[in-house]
Amino acid sequence: MATTISTSAAAESAARAGTSVWDLQIGWQHHAACKGPQSELFFAPNHLERKEDRLERESAAKAICRSCPVLVQCREYALTVREPHGIWGGLNEYERRQLRARRAG
């Protein structure tokens, strides 16, 4: 999960999230609500997934995100590193692309 991001991008995202660069990059992961066996909900399986199954899986993952104490940090991290897969910060890949586009405005 840990990926290094550039200092300037990290500083900008940290300011947006109201946190430090270190916490944006690494610290928040210690408080993630998705740690443990439920982490498989956050990424597509290796086999073909039906649309209904994907929607159900993503809904369950997003429900966990809604109670996560580091949702903002996680979302900013995923947006900054352009995380291409999975649910991060309560958003799937498509929703993150939409948010990046709105912010780029």
Binding residues for ligand SF4, rule: CB under 6 A, are 32-34, 42, 64-65, 68, 70-71, 74, 87-90
Please count the residues of the chain: 105
Nearer CB in complex with ligand SF4: 4/8: 4
Give the Cα separation of 45 and 41 in Å (integer): 9
Q: What are the structure tokens assigned to 14, written together?
A: 């940290």
Nearer CB in complex with ligand SF4: 14/90: 90
Distance from chain centroid for Cα 18:
16
In the complex, least distance from residue 34 CB atom to ligand SF4, rounded to whole angstroms: 3
